[in-house]
Structure 1
Amino acid sequence: MTNKIISLGIATIVSLNCYAQNKIPAPTHYQMAPIHMQSRWAKNVGPENALPEYPRPQLQRKNWQNLNGMWEYSITDSISAIPSSFDGNILVPYPLESALSGVQRVLLPDQRLWYRRIIQWSANNKKKDEHVILNFGGVDWQTTVFINKKEVGRHTGGYQGFSFDITEYLKSGDNEILIKVYDPSDKGPNPHGKQVLNPGNIYYTASSGIWQTVWLETISAIHISNLKLTPNIDNEVLGLKINTIGKTEGLKLEVAALKDGKIVSAYTASLDKKKNEDEINFSIPMKKARLWSPEDPFLYDLSIKLIKGNKTLDEVKSYFGMRKINIQKDEKGTDRIFLNNKYTYNLGILDQGFWPDGLYTAPTDEALAFDIKTIKSLGFNTIRKHIKIEPERWYYHADKIGVLVWQDFVNPPHGLPEGSRENFEKEVEETMSQLYNHPSIITWVLFNERWGAYDQKRLTNWVKKLDPSRIVNGHSGELLYVNDQLRTPSDSPWIGSDITDVHSYPDPRNAPPQPNKARVVGEFGGVGVPVVGHEWDDLQGWGYLQVTAAELKGKYTHMMKILKDLESAGLSASIYTQPFDVEGEENGFLTYDREIIKIPVTELRTINQELVKQANGFTLDPHFYIAADIDKNDGDNRYEELTNEYYKGKIDSAFLRRLILMSMRKKDKAKTTMISNDYISKLISPYSKSNLSFIWRVTKSSKDKGFELFLAEPQKVDSALWENSAITKIKTIIEAEEIAPQRKLNQNWDSIQQNVKNKFGSIGEELVIGKRMIYYGFETNAKEWGNYAKYYQLYFERALKRPEYDINNCSWLIYENIDDVKVLEFAISVMKYAIDRWDQSPEAYDTYAHLLHKVNKSNEAIIWEEKALKLGKGTPYEKLFAETLQKMKAGLPTWPQNN
């Protein structure tokens, strides 16, 4: 039986005697996984204080039981039942791939992640009509919860909180909580943002599993389940919608709004509804309200009670801000963004929300607030939260500190595989409901730069209907300019939107005017400055424009002067990329570890003051330390000096790592190899993720120690980095050293294959077989289809789980050119494997259907071709799929008839 999922609002506690048994390791067993970069807050993280703060500030109750801390974990394949043993311990709520979890392992799409913890519960202490609720702030992506081996419920969505009533599954004494997680990252139909299994410049390390607080509470059977608060400053009221669960007949509802502890408005009502789910709508007066803004981020407290006789059944605490956001015309008739009926330029910055040690999860609550306070201290009044939904406490800090938030939705995956549209729209609606009450959020951003975009007009209007109280940016960067060249044209940009939004790198530009829409530049900047000793990916720092530390201030000042002119011409907002470096991106004002700032704080504030006057709300706290200033004179000009230190015996790891990178930039190959081998030899944990990531990038030949590591333990390397990372590196080197030179000499394939096999074993042989397949099918003028079929089979028998080549393209050639039923049946199994695990594209479905049809499995082929047609609606393939489907239904061949 699967229980109904309880909305986030229903959880509270009286007293739960919950604790980890001895089966859960003592806190002293925890150790952060090795990592070459961490933030200053990481040292404060441990099992006893892992995010101890109450996770839901908008709906608080007094008593609760935090379940963050040490859990057991296991990684299994996708079909295994509940594991009988576990791999080790993990610190919840830090993602599996993060160093702070203590694990730092990659979860592959065909694997499942399990968590286990024992709690104790006493039925004797249970009061009548009490329910025990298990709450999750966020689990990425699909979650199944078991209590004492019985399934309680399931939830899909990586960014939304959810809860289960577990009362009926509990027994006196020990109770096992078991959680199963499926997270395909960027290989599934799930919104995943910038998380990928193979991170690069603008995509980052995936965060799988539990990544927000887990907690237990007990509640009355009759309780408040949700609040919806809508300020209306023009009518001087606060609109409230309160959802309750349970029969409220005969109960009294008491609501009080407080300012500095004193009641300023109240509401009392008798409830007489008998149904089990109730919705109460009303307004309370807020005369002469103190308005919320970045200059004065004032928050009212809110108390809500359900009372039966003289007994309070349920009481929640919340807060709200009185503010208004909309598009109005200024005194010149220009459409602009207005806050509280006053034109307010949104000077913003693009915040990704990643951490070197916690990835999606900030190490501590102080760290979570640090980012927001830093951004405001630098003189910005707006944050665009980029393709990530943060924990609720982030928005609480934004409300309290006082910044305007443009909240991106997490886009559907590229290619819109089957189920992705439904998942996206479900998560959008849940996100809006979850974050609705935060006054800091002023704009919903639907799509970004066409990533997964579809049905833009319908969805924009849908979002506006769901929340008419905010601005909707239907498509940020629908027109993208790089170096003044338009990369993404559009026939009808920003349809239905309140905003026209362009992205322009590196220098900003104005969006075109459209009636009743504000003009914004949703992204610009991206100026990269690497900082020695504070780089995540020190091999390849990235920015749209690279400058030295000495040049950055001048470049930013120039951009702000452009913005000032654009603002005079009608620009309402600008979003600079970005506040912090993120993994391979080095275009932040601060380094990824938040330790170095690239323009001094006071100088940056002064530049920004040209667009946003820094009133009392922007006062720089003298006790708030942001970061140390960059040393502008510490660069590659020291190569000879540092090389001499190396020859004199300086060999500490950080020094060697820096010298390796210098030698690579100087193209000094001999020193690169020599120093790299010294560096790797001295590593205590060569197979840690951070070390392997560096080794992977510096390994260039079979003589390098890195090559030896990858060849010796490929599975260990893949587990730490990403799928097939070791094999990919090994094959790249073998091809460069063994295959390419021999092919230039016109050596025959048989001798090449034997030679490579002798030197490198089965991995080398697999590489050559794949090369032969491609050669016979794609490279020779006269295609050799018999040999192609032979090596297609040989290759995919070995490499199906780690293919170097696109299975769909390779299998299509089999369909078109091969009549052997055994080969066709094998290709069908290969395509089915790819479809089941990663390729749910209409093209893959189409190829699979063609193969089935060719072996007379036409009924099944028709089903798959119908799926291809459904997914291919609106694509260039739609007509072709439709024609193919008709042929299949008519029993006609779809393959070329000249074979």
Structure 2
Amino acid sequence: MDIRRMLAGRLRTHERQDPLPLWTPWGEELRAGDKDAPTTHPHPQFARDAWGSLNGWWECAFASNPGGSTPERTAAVPAAFPLRIRVPFSPEAPLSGVGRQLKPDELLWYRRTFEAPALGAGERLLLHFDAVDYACVCYVNGRLAGSHAGGYLPFSFDVTDLLLPGEKNELALCVRDPSDTEPHPRGKQLLQCGTIWYTAQSGIWQDVWWECVPENRVEELLVDASPDAGDVTVCARVVRPGEELRVSLLSAEGALLARGAAVTAEKSVAVHIPVEAPHLWSPEDPYLYGLRIEYGADVVTSYCAFRAVSVEPDAEGVPRFCLNHQPLFLRGLLDQGYWSDGLLTAPSAGALEADIKAARDLGFNMLRKHIKVEQDRWYWLCDRLGMLVWQDMVSGGTAPYNMWQVNQKPTISRFACGHFRDDTAAHQVRLSSADPVFQEEWTRDCEGTVRYLRNHPSIVTWVLFNEGWGQFNARDAVCRVRAIDPTRPIDATSGWFDQGCGDFASEHNYFRKLRVHLSRGSSRAFVISEFGGLTWYVEGHSSFLEPYGYAGFASQGEWRRAVRALLDEANALEAKGLAGYVYTQLSDVEEETNGLLSFDRQVNKLLP
């Protein structure tokens, strides 16, 4: 046990100063050029031609919360909207132009006008919100379009019948965000933030866009390109059965390779297309096949990849993570997806791509997307660039967490990590997960996340709970996820409080010598799913003057040598049965200065 590092890394409560202005290169470009509209489809894996972005400058207003369980549904529209906000950045993010936090006793109103496209016979207009934190109600031309609760998953409203043909249409959105005053899934956001907890943000934080669609259309796709079966199966859920579903498989260059079709008698229909000797996807060769799905007048473009992921024994019987049935050692980075100028929202797709390429160029083949559901473009980029992804579920539960239970005790004692059940009422109180409404919402969001992201070939593992934060009934959660997606391994409990389920024995180790703990006869692979956290503060490239991390160094050269030595130590454990690791972390985040990149992405700290 490294006592010095453990004391340096202890979580502390303190009065935090306002963050210093800190801009990424892409944020500076956005401010200078005012380029708000994205150039790529928000969902490249489920794309139609007729769409338009509603990102950009909106009007906004803060209003008092009238109280009640759903005040956003009863609040009156403000008489004036005195502020401007750049969507999709939350008001707390510098790039929003607002610089103000939405408090739990307030509501945030948005308003803008838009021109709807001309609709043909049988066409509908959908209004898409890719993420709004937390609860919202939407109005079009003063009439209710719909409501939604949940801060990390996309939703949409059919607004066709609310439009004014040939005129500008008014769109208004009322948002409420209780943050950590209620136990909803919220990730690492905290009103009293600091150390490993970050600025609570609210409102619209991913793309807003419209889409013109046929009335009878494909609503959902499930794509399974199986190298073992030698075929691709496209299962579509449609609005009304009776049409023919036609699927075309294309090469990466767009050439037609094969076709399949089936007539729908139910709302779900599957088309199977045999593929002889499919081109396999891998980090070294991320080959993507194109898909064209037609249903009546509806045309959707998508893509798929032939790859299989599993945990299997190697030649010596040691469980390993396998890609296409070959052991692959996972060299991962913790990726929290925070930005100095956009908070949870990346300044652009180029910024997302730069992060992925930086990780790859430093020798990592996996990113663990930590306690966040990223915008869909990020997974598309990982699919294209061959970056493996471990996808976390968003944590929540009653705040504040019992840090003795979920942080200090497991850090001191490994025994405590594996001998604490999560299915008893008393233990769930200590894990901040006893609220039945939270359990229901976490389960809904977990299942929704798997359904939303399951077609992305880059995602190779689902991570359900992290360090006991809001953990409950992990065995049941594993069964639920396997029922939706039986094709991927599951890390049920990353860190500690292992319940003996899932496909990995998954430990966090920041303060002890790195070791492999293989259980005799176990079929689960052993991973060190977090370690490192060595800190180096780069003056002028941090949001705060006081850094936080797990160890300090006299010089940047000393820090680099320590990081490389620790990575070498982890790599050497592959020979002893380690299946992979996740180093903390890709970039600095607010007070945390333990990233390989600075918070503004201006400095790669590991490079001379």
TM-score (norm 2): 0.86
Q: CA deviation at 1:411?
A: 1.1
Question: Please, which of 26, 29, 34 is the counterpart of residue 44 of structure 1?
Answer: 29
1:82 aligned partner: 77
Whether the 8 Å contact between 1:502 and 1:510 is mirrored in structure 2 is no
Once residues 583 and 171 of structure 1 are traced to their aligned partners in structure 2, the CA distance between those partners, rounded to angstroms, is: 45
Whether the 8 Å contact between 1:92 and 1:101 is mirrored in structure 2 is yes
Whether the 8 Å contact between 1:50 and 1:93 is mirrored in structure 2 is no
Unmatched runs of 5 consecutive residues or more in structure 2: 1-17, 67-74, 399-431
One-letter amino acid of the structure 2 residue matched with residue 475 of structure 1:
T
Q: CA deviation at 1:62?
A: 1.1
Once residues 54 and 321 of structure 1 are traced to their aligned partners in structure 2, the CA distance between those partners, rounded to angstroms, is: 19
1:71 aligned partner: 58
Q: CA deviation at 1:270?
A: 3.3
Question: Please, which of 89, 97, 100 is the counterpart of residue 102 of structure 1?
Answer: 97
One-letter amino acid of the structure 2 residue matched with residue 439 of structure 1:
P
1:544 aligned partner: 550
One-letter amino acid of the structure 2 residue matched with residue 42 of structure 1:
G
* Structure 1 residue 317 corresponds to structure 2 residue 301: yes
Aligned length: 542
Whether the 8 Å contact between 2:19 and 2:543 is mirrored in structure 1 is no
Whether the 8 Å contact between 1:140 and 1:207 is mirrored in structure 2 is yes
One-letter amino acid of the structure 1 residue matched with residue 335 of structure 2:
D
* Structure 1 residue 183 corresponds to structure 2 residue 201: no
Once residues 304 and 121 of structure 1 are traced to their aligned partners in structure 2, the CA distance between those partners, rounded to angstroms, is: 25
Q: CA deviation at 1:158?
A: 1.0
One-letter amino acid of the structure 1 residue matched with residue 551 of structure 2:
L
Once residues 126 and 555 of structure 1 are traced to their aligned partners in structure 2, the CA distance between those partners, rounded to angstroms, is: 61
Residue by residue over 1:662-707, the C-alpha shift from the partner in whole angstroms, topping out at 9 and shown as x without a partner, is xxxxxxxxxxxxxxxxxxxxxxxxxxxxxxxxxxxxxxxxxxxxxx
Residue pairs, 1:375-394, within 5 angstroms: 375-394=359-378
Once residues 533 and 517 of structure 2 are traced to their aligned partners in structure 1, the CA distance between those partners, rounded to angstroms, is: 18
Residue by residue over 1:532-569, the C-alpha shift from the partner in whole angstroms, topping out at 9 and shown as x without a partner, is 1111112x211111123121222123223322342111
Whether the 8 Å contact between 1:461 and 1:496 is mirrored in structure 2 is no
Once residues 512 and 192 of structure 1 are traced to their aligned partners in structure 2, the CA distance between those partners, rounded to angstroms, is: 34
Once residues 34 and 71 of structure 1 are traced to their aligned partners in structure 2, the CA distance between those partners, rounded to angstroms, is: 25
Q: CA deviation at 1:50?
A: 4.1
One-letter amino acid of the structure 1 residue matched with residue 83 of structure 2:
G
Residue pairs, 1:707-856, within 5 angstroms: none
Specify whether residues 35 and 86 from structure 1 end up closer, same or farther in structure 2 by C-alpha distance, changes over 3 A only: farther
More strand by share: 2
1:60 aligned partner: 47
Whether the 8 Å contact between 1:143 and 1:156 is mirrored in structure 2 is yes
Whether the 8 Å contact between 1:35 and 1:357 is mirrored in structure 2 is no
Once residues 236 and 387 of structure 2 are traced to their aligned partners in structure 1, the CA distance between those partners, rounded to angstroms, is: 27
Q: CA deviation at 1:72?
A: 0.7
2:161 aligned partner: 168
In structure 2, the residue corresponding to 1:331 is in which secondary structure?
coil
One-letter amino acid of the structure 2 residue matched with residue 147 of structure 1:
V
1:136 aligned partner: 129
1:716 aligned partner: none
* Structure 1 residue 257 corresponds to structure 2 residue 253: no
2:207 aligned partner: 213
* Structure 1 residue 241 corresponds to structure 2 residue 235: yes
Once residues 43 and 382 of structure 1 are traced to their aligned partners in structure 2, the CA distance between those partners, rounded to angstroms, is: 29
Once residues 201 and 42 of structure 2 are traced to their aligned partners in structure 1, the CA distance between those partners, rounded to angstroms, is: 19
* Structure 1 residue 501 corresponds to structure 2 residue 539: no
2:402 aligned partner: none
TM-score (norm 1): 0.59
Whether the 8 Å contact between 2:119 and 2:212 is mirrored in structure 1 is no
Whether the 8 Å contact between 2:396 and 2:469 is mirrored in structure 1 is yes
> Percent of counterpart pairs with the same letter?
37
Once residues 550 and 245 of structure 1 are traced to their aligned partners in structure 2, the CA distance between those partners, rounded to angstroms, is: 60
Whether the 8 Å contact between 2:340 and 2:590 is mirrored in structure 1 is yes
In structure 1, the residue corresponding to 2:353 is in which secondary structure?
helix
In structure 1, the residue corresponding to 2:477 is in which secondary structure?
helix
Whether the 8 Å contact between 1:456 and 1:495 is mirrored in structure 2 is no
Q: CA deviation at 1:460?
A: 1.7
Once residues 565 and 380 of structure 1 are traced to their aligned partners in structure 2, the CA distance between those partners, rounded to angstroms, is: 15
Residue by residue over 1:842-887, the C-alpha shift from the partner in whole angstroms, topping out at 9 and shown as x without a partner, is xxxxxxxxxxxxxxxxxxxxxxxxxxxxxxxxxxxxxxxxxxxxxx
1:301 aligned partner: 290
Residue by residue over 1:196-248, the C-alpha shift from the partner in whole angstroms, topping out at 9 and shown as x without a partner, is 112201011122110111111221111111111112111111122111113x4
2:535 aligned partner: 528
In structure 1, the residue corresponding to 2:334 is in which secondary structure?
strand
Q: CA deviation at 1:368?
A: 1.2
One-letter amino acid of the structure 2 residue matched with residue 386 of structure 1:
H
Question: Please, which of 111, 118, 124 is the counterpart of residue 116 of structure 1?
Answer: 111
1:633 aligned partner: none
Q: CA deviation at 1:509?
A: 2.9
* Structure 1 residue 564 corresponds to structure 2 residue 564: no
Whether the 8 Å contact between 1:232 and 1:238 is mirrored in structure 2 is yes
Higher relative contact order (CA 8 A, sep 6+): 2
Whether the 8 Å contact between 1:229 and 1:241 is mirrored in structure 2 is yes
One-letter amino acid of the structure 2 residue matched with residue 442 of structure 1:
V
In structure 2, the residue corresponding to 1:393 is in which secondary structure?
helix
Residue by residue over 1:731-774, the C-alpha shift from the partner in whole angstroms, topping out at 9 and shown as x without a partner, is xxxxxxxxxxxxxxxxxxxxxxxxxxxxxxxxxxxxxxxxxxxx
Higher alpha-carbon Rg = 1
2:595 aligned partner: 588
Once residues 20 and 42 of structure 2 are traced to their aligned partners in structure 1, the CA distance between those partners, rounded to angstroms, is: 27
